[in-house]
Amino acid sequence: MKLFTRSDMILIALLIAIMLLISYNAPYRSTEAEVYVQGKAYMKIDLSKDATYNIANHMIVEVLDGKIRAQESDCPEKLCVKQGWISSPEVPIVCLPNKILIKIIGKLSDEAMDAMTR
Amino acid sequence: MRQRNPRNPLSSSTFLYTILALLAISILTWLFITNDKQEYYTKTDYLLGTYVTVRVSGDKTSPVLLANAAFKEIERIDEKYGNNKGIVEELNASKGKWIEIDQETAFLLKSAIEVSKNTGGAFDFTLYPIIKLWGFDDINNEKRVPKKTEIGKALLKVSYENVEISPDGNKVRLLNGAQIDLSGIAKGYAVDMAIMKIKSIDEKATGFIDAGGDIGIIGPKYGNRPWVIGIRHPRSESADKVIDYVYMYDGSIATSGDYERFFEVDGIRYHHIFDPATGYPANNGVISSTVIHKSAMLADAYATAAFVLGDSPGVTFFPRYGALAFLVREDLSTFKNKGFEVYLSK
């Protein structure tokens, strides 16, 4: 059977669009991302180190300036790649075909700094 | 190959839709929870020799109106108590004569004297002759290391005890050639007064005022969440690096650091926070001091005192005066007054 129908695509695209809109709102300070493959914890990624990682031979993930993105993926639609950079825990990178989920942990949204005393 | 069975509830399509539906519901819920009607208005202006930011949201009043009222109040205090103008200029030129003052000035001077007394003179608003000698009285002035004799001579004029307020509080005079500088206290005072102004217009207003790192909380974020305040890392190339975060629902916080204003001669850093006992930049092992206090004026004054007092004699007595200190030493280790830790977690 077909995994994706046309309406599936539209739905996914819509959802991604909403996620992107939300993620545009504020920059977040985060330190670590968790990667889940097939629902199981696969690895942790330090977001303070600029580097690239191979996720289960399906996805290449890039870290730059505390942000993370799927640089390459072998999934058909590459929606995870198109999702671009994330730096907030509210918006994980999701690759449905490979069942890969990348989620920033440690700090919640209102952990973002409001002001600085100096 | 697996056989296709459209009724199988675990078929890919059903699975996909379930996930998508759950995602959609959670996103909508999240949007609903976070989509607070309260909006924050932020206004920044250059006042009190620094950038002042007011972020405010009103309960019944327009935040723009509240911010403008706050800035008007800060401008008034800047005019009244800024360096080289107003009452400060008048007093410094008074040559020991009695000068009439209003209630507000009496309050400000008495507050400054009280902090000086409480800190054994570590905070002293009569340091102006020393500050001037080193060139820190004006951004454009040339900074230099004065001779020992010059410092010794200027130091004779320095003592908060040289400021005498008449018993009725209507007059003040400066003895022994003393000169005052209220910049260490006026910035915080302006924050306190601007918050009072906002509260008098809209009691339930929330937000904060940041006057060059002296931060006073008007009210919790969206009425129930703390404001997240980063304490600047004292040794970092990037100005936005933080050594720790504090979470504040109310009260004020201020920081003094040797990185704020300094110059270097022969590899030695000379910063702008002077030890009233020596006339030299304070050097008691602390490179950054942060103080939380109910009042921004007192947070600022005690932060300065904490920097001067440093590790020894130290600031263990601060909580007695409602001040909680967080000190960073040269090796980046920290000292916290008992009670400060409650601000380090939400």
* Minimal C-alpha gap between B173 and chain A (Å): 34
Question: What's the mean pLDDT in A72-99?
Answer: 76
Tell me which chain B residue has its CA closest to the CA of residue A115. Answer: B229
Q: Could you report the per-residue pLDDT of B13-52, keeping only the tens digit for each?
A: 788 888 888 888 888 877 766 555 568 888 877 788 777 8
The dihedrals phi and psi of B331, each to the nearest 5 degrees, come to -85, 15
Nearest to B232 among A1, A19, A117 (CB): A117
Residue from the list B17, B228, B260 with its beta carbon closest to the beta carbon of A112: B228
Cβ within 8 Å of B, A 44-83: none
Residue in chain A lying closest to B28 (CA): A18
Report CA A43 to chain centroid distance, whole Å: 14
The residue among B56, B12, B81, B35 whose CA lies nearest residue B216 is: B56
Band the pLDDT of A15: cuts 50, 70, 90.
confident
Q: Return d(Cα B170, Cα B326) in angstroms, integer.
A: 37
Residue A118 lies in a domain: no
Which of A46-50, B5-9, B275-279: highest mean pLDDT?
B275-279
The Cα B258–Cα B234 span in angstroms is 8
**Alpha carbon distance B108, B94 (integer Å):** 18
What is the rounded distance in angstroms from the CA atom of residue B3 to the CA atom of residue B242? 58
Question: Mapping DSSP to helix (H, G, I), strand (E, B) and coil, where does residue B205 land?
Answer: coil
**Alpha helix locations (H) across A1-118?**
6-24, 79-83
Domains in chain B: boundaries: 83-181
b/e per residue, B93-107, with b = 16+ CB within 10 A?
Answer: eeeeeebebeeebbe
Q: For residue A10, is it within any domain?
A: yes
**Residue A113: which of B16, B242, B290 has the nearest Cβ?**
B242
Residues B293 and B252: beta-carbon distance below 8 Å: yes
Please indicate whether, in this complex, the C-beta atoms of B228 and A22 are within 8 angstroms of each other.
no
Query: Taking every pair of C-alpha atoms in chain B, what is the biggest distance, in angstroms?
Result: 103
pLDDT, tens only, B220-265: 999 889 999 989 888 875 455 689 999 999 999 999 998 878 888 8
**Which DSSP category does B39 fall into?**
-
> Which H or E run contains B12?
helix B12-34
Rounded to the nearest angstrom, the minimum Cα separation between A55 and chain B is: 22
pLDDT bin (cut points 50, 70, 90) of residue B282 is: very high
Question: Within a domain: residue A51?
Answer: yes
Phi, psi of B182, deg, nearest 5: -95, 5
Q: Yes or no: say if A75 and A98 are a contact pair by the CB < 8 Å rule.
A: yes
Binned at pLDDT 50, 70 and 90, residue A109 comes out as very low
Say if residue A110's pLDDT is above 50. no
Among candidate residues B216, B228, B219, B227, the one with its CA nearest the CA of residue B191: B216
- Domain membership of residue A93 (yes or no) is yes
Span B179-184, average pLDDT: 90
**Chain A residues inside the 8 Å CB shell of B17:** 8
Quickly tell me which residue has 């980046």 as its tokens: B332
The reply, when asked if residue B258 is annotated as ligand binding, is no
Residue B186 has pLDDT above 50, yes or no: yes
Domain assignment of residue A77, given as a range: 6-108
**B136 contacts chain A (CB < 8 A):** no
Comparing CB atoms, the residue among A110, A116, A118 nearest residue B221 is A110
Counted domains in chain A? 1
Helix/strand/coil percent split, chain A, to 5: 25, 35, 40
Q: What is the pLDDT of residues A51-79, one digit of tens each?
A: 999 999 999 999 988 888 899 988 876 76
A117 is a domain residue: no
Contact between B215 and A117 (Cβ < 8 Å):
yes
Taking only Cα atoms into account, the Rg of chain A, rounded to an integer number of angstroms, comes to 15
Q: Give the tens place of pLDDT for each residue, B111-121.
A: 999 999 999 99
**For residue A28, pLDDT beyond 70:** no
Q: Cα(first)–Cα(last) distance of chain B, in Å?
A: 54
Amino acid at B271: H
Helices (H), B167-210: 183-201
Query: How many A×B Cβ pairs under 8 Å?
Result: 80
**CA nearest neighbour of B255 among B293, B219, B288:** B288
Q: Does A78 or B142 have the greater pLDDT score?
A: B142
Task: Give me the pLDDT at residue A11, please.
Answer: 85
Residue B6 has pLDDT above 60, yes or no: no
Residue that is written with structure tokens 């989620």 in the block: A103
Superfamily (CATH) of domain B83-181? ApbE-like superfamily (1.10.3980.10)
pLDDT score recorded for residue B20: 84
CATH number at residue A25: 2.60.320.10
According to DSSP, the β-strands at A115-117 and B227-232 are parallel
The predicted complex's ipTM stands at 0.78
Q: Lowest-pLDDT range, A89-93, B96-100, B104-108? A: A89-93
